[in-house]
Structure formats: structure tokens, C-alpha cells
Amino acid sequence: MSTSEIPVGSNFIRTIINEDLANGKHKQVITRFPPEPNGYLHIGHAKSICLNFGLATEYKGRCNLRFDDTNPTKEEDEYVEAIQEDVAWLGFDWGDKALFASDYFEQLYQWAIVLIKKGKAYVDSQSAEEMRTNRGTLTQAGTDSSYRDRSVEENLELFEKMKNGDFSDGSHILRAKIDMSSPNMNLRDPAMYRILHAHHHRTGDHWCIYPMYDFAHGQEDSIEGVTHSICTLEFEDHRPLYEWFLKELEIFAPQQIEFARLNLSYTVMSKRKLLQLVNEKHVSGWDDPRMPTVSGMRRRGYPAAAIRTFCERIGVGRSANWIDLSVLEDCVREQLNETAFRRQAVLNPLKLTITNYPEDKVELLDAANHPQQPEQGSRQLAFCNELYIDRDDFMEDPPPPKKYFRLGPDREVRLRNGYIIKCDEFIKDENGEVIELKCSADLDTLGKNPEGRKVKGIIHWVSARHAGKVEVRGYDRLFNQENPDKAENYLAALNPESLQVTEALAEPSLLEATAGETFQFERVGYFTVDSKDSIDGKPIFNRTVTLRDTWQR
């Protein structure tokens, strides 16, 4: 899907943009997506990506991919590459090159000097604890630093020495001089630059001072000509500071607009918590298919189109609300129902012998790749007298026929794409477990219904002689609590059943499936070939989603 086809639904941000274009405030819409390269993107970031890139596409404008790389101790090229891969996979294009906050380090430094010369910034030499204490509280004004009235000349000299590496980490900090009694804590002389002797993934050891996000991001927007700086609601209280810097520097001022972030049930989206899950090996990595990361969802088999549909469907608003995970899963089902080829696999095999079918006969049955799309063609399934069906499709003592359409003693079902069979006998082992069914087939029912009776049940199967063994990973929700963040310890809410590994029997064509291919295992769910652990001829299948929402609330 090209970005020109990506729809953008009506929302309050679009209303603002329409008004700005109508009154001539802007001639072109320019947005940006500014991730920090300190982790992998998650579904919350996907909402912001779809919003920012979607609006730029809708209005024939531009959206910049700009990395906020102002904290070298947490940033890595691995994250930069992963983020670019995710944005591209979602279907978006950021133009000739990605941008970085580090592209503007020299300009930001010069702007800091401008504010010092205007008497709007000063070097503070308090300890971190002193600054914390003197900042005040929500109900108590802060206290001016004893270094607040340093002369412009002294501040310029100290700031240059900070830049030259003459001081140790934490010994000095550059602060904006605004109002220590402001009811908005963000305006109480916020930090602009800190000393950090750390190697930067792009600038190396050239800098030992780094701008704070609140100082940098507004100026970065200004440099890039961003018209609408769209961010989540937690930055609403930061907007006055964003605007203060731009006004004092007398440079172009983009409009910051806040929207409600995505809150998804049975999920955590704190980068700190996601990193903890990875580091403590509660999951196999950032791309574990149970993770809410874009890379995890891709590996699980979520289509990019389904994520875009989800982001459009939940909309954009100002009020925080919770979205149930089932909404996302429904978008995945809708997309895969249209695109996934059908195949047969038995996850919990039970042997079935057709007693009236010749032992030496093998018949090739035609099976559609997609029953609603005949143009997708078909494949042939080998059929013989020994099959495997799913154990859940047989009950020794089933409910009445009107409530149960699967197999039981003297009950009939149709084998998918095959004959109608009746269970004549079942065999148990010494533990009382059913290990084999003896059935007879109505050999006159291939491709047609029997006369005089209706058979509603249809079950899937594989040939015992032709099926191959495959590993299947049954992924479920990572947490068993709707809001894990409310748990006393969110790790205690981890779902111990979130991964179940089984060996299944699959029709032969599935053995040749390649990484990233997704199928509907008929009557079971949607499965994709794992892109990391599969090898040629030995695919591992990840369950993407069940055929319907089976989560028990």
C-alpha cells in the first residue's frame, strides 16, 4: 500500500490544519516524528507515526523522521536502524534522509549563547540535590539559586569551559532564567545543557555537553520549518516553555498540538519496563512476538495494513481512554481473512482410520487456496485411509446434535474438502485416553451432499502418511491483567501461558513455507513463519491471532 492510499480520518488536529491553510497561515503542512533512539518502537509510536505521516500525505506536505539523540548514554545505532525499518515497514517514506538532533548541536549551542547574552540563561553550580530542594513543590514556590545573578561575562566563560571539557559531570548546568515562582514547574528555571562526558553514536567525543529535550526540540522544529508539532498530552504543560524559547530566540515558532496517547489493555508501553522485560529475559528480545513493539508484531505476523487500520479506527482525541487489545486483534483478523491462504494443520493430533477405504489407495483432493477468492487457485491434498484430526473435534460423550457438530460415537461429520465419515468405534490406552478412532466413509459424498440427511459439522485433517511435523508457537497476551501498570509489581501480572510450544502435523505444502508467509490454519487461527528461528524445510509457525476472540475475561 502506498502512502498516497493511507486514509486520514477527521479529527481536531485536521480541523486546526484546515483552518491554518484556509487563512493563509501556512502554505504547506510539515510534521515530524521524533523518536529517541534508546529502544524499539511500540504500538503507541505506531499511532503517532500514522498520524504524522498520514497528515503530511493527506495534505501533500512532508513528515520528517528526526531522531532525538541528545542522550548518548542510552542511544545506539541498533535502535536507529530498527526504527527506520519499522517506519518503512508501516508504509511511510521520510524523503532523502533521516534527520538527527545531533545535526543541530552547533546551532543549539549558539542559541544558548544568545540567551546567555540576553540575560535569559545562567550557569548554575548547585548540586543536583540542592536544585531539587530549591525547585519547590506544586504548592510552594521555588527558591532562586545563589548563582542566578552571575554576570553575562562569567556565564559565557563558564559555559565555554563546560563545552571544552574543563569540568566534571554534574558540576555545572546551564539553566534558563524564567520564574522560580511560576505555578508551572516547567518554567522554574529549567535545565538547558548538562555536562556529559560520553561517546555519542554520531558525533563521537566532539561534545561533552548535551542539550536537554525541552530546550532542543522546539528549535529543531523551527529549523525544519515544522508547521504542526504534534505530541502526546504529557507535553501540554511543557508547551509554555517550548514557546518561551522560540519567542526569546525570535525564530519561527511551530504550533505544538497535543493528543491523547494510546493506552492498550493487557500491555505495558513504558520503555523502561519493556527494556526490563528484555534484559531480565522475561521475553526473548525486543522482537519477541508477545511484545507490543512494531518489530514484535511484525514477527508475529501482524500486517502493516492492519496496524494502520487500527490507528485510524481508534481515532485521535484529547481525552485519555483505554483501547481493548481485541480491537487491534480484530483489525488483524479482518486483514488476514482477505489475504491469508488456507492450509490444514492439526495441533493436537488424534489418529483416525477409515476402515472401508483401501489401504493402498492415495487420492488427491482439490482444496482452494482461498474459498472467497477462486482466482487464487488451489492445491491438492493427499488422502488415504489413515488420517489425523484434532483431538478437540471428538467427544466420547458429546452434547445433543443440535449443540455439537463435531465427531462422536455414531456421529457424522464431513472432512474438509473430502468425504463424510461416521465414527463407529474408538480405542483407548491403558490410561483410558482415546488414542484412535475407527470410522467409515460415505464414498458417494465427495464434492456433494448425501441424500436424505444433513451433516453440518466440518473438521480439518491431515494424511498420516504425508503430513510433516512442524513446531508451532502459540502466543497469547503477555499479561493476564487488563492494566498491568496498576499491579503492585507489573511483573507479577505476566501471563505464564503466554507462550505454548507444540509439535503439530501439517499438510506438505506448509513445509516449504518461507519466513514471513502467513496462513490461516483452517478452523484454528492465523499463523506466520517465524522470521528468526525458521530454516529452509523446517519452518516454525507463530500464531498471529485466533480465528475469533477467545480471551476469557
Are 262 and 43 a contacting pair, CB within 8 Å?
A: yes
Task: Indicate which residue of 135, 148, 261, 523 is catalytic.
Answer: 261
Gyration radius of the chain's alpha carbons: 31
Chain length of the chain: 553
**Is 342 among the catalytic positions?**
no
Helix, strand or coil, per DSSP, at residue 125? coil
Contacts of 345 (CB under 8 A, 6+ apart): 460, 462, 470, 472, 504, 505, 506, 507, 510, 521, 524, 527, 541
Q: How far apart are CA 108 and CA 212, in angstroms?
A: 10
Are 39 and 271 a contacting pair, CB within 8 Å?
A: yes
Contacts of 60 (CB under 8 A, 6+ apart): 28, 29
**Is 271 among the catalytic positions?**
yes
Phi-psi region of 442 (alpha: psi -120 to 50; beta: other; left: phi over 0): beta
Q: Where are the beta strands (DSSP E) in 263-392?
A: 263-264, 322-323, 341-343, 345-346, 349-354, 363-368, 378-383, 386-390
Helix, strand or coil, per DSSP, at residue 355? coil
Contacts of 492 (CB under 8 A, 6+ apart): none
C-alpha angle with apex 21: 16 to 24, nearest 5 degrees?
125
**Is 36 among the catalytic positions?**
yes
Task: Indicate which residue of 14, 120, 202, 271 is catalytic.
Answer: 271
Task: Indicate which residue of 14, 36, 351, 386 is catalytic.
Answer: 36
CB count in 10 Å sphere of residue 552:
5
Q: How far apart are CA 405 and CA 319, in angstroms?
A: 46
| CA quadruple 122, 128, 134, 136: dihedral, nearest 10 | 110
Q: How far is CA 325 from CA 113, 307, 314, 473, in A?
A: 49, 12, 11, 20
Q: How far apart are CA 387 and CA 257, in angstroms?
A: 61
DSSP tag of 382: E
Q: Which amino acid is at 49?
A: I
| CA quadruple 527, 532, 536, 542: dihedral, nearest 10 | -10
Cell numbers linked to 136 = 519547590
Q: Where are the beta strands (DSSP E) in 291-361?
A: 322-323, 341-343, 345-346, 349-354
Q: How far apart are CA 141 and CA 149, in angstroms?
A: 18
The C-alpha cell 518461507 sits at 514
| H or E stretch covering 211 | strand 209-211
Residues labelled as active-site residues: 36, 261, 271
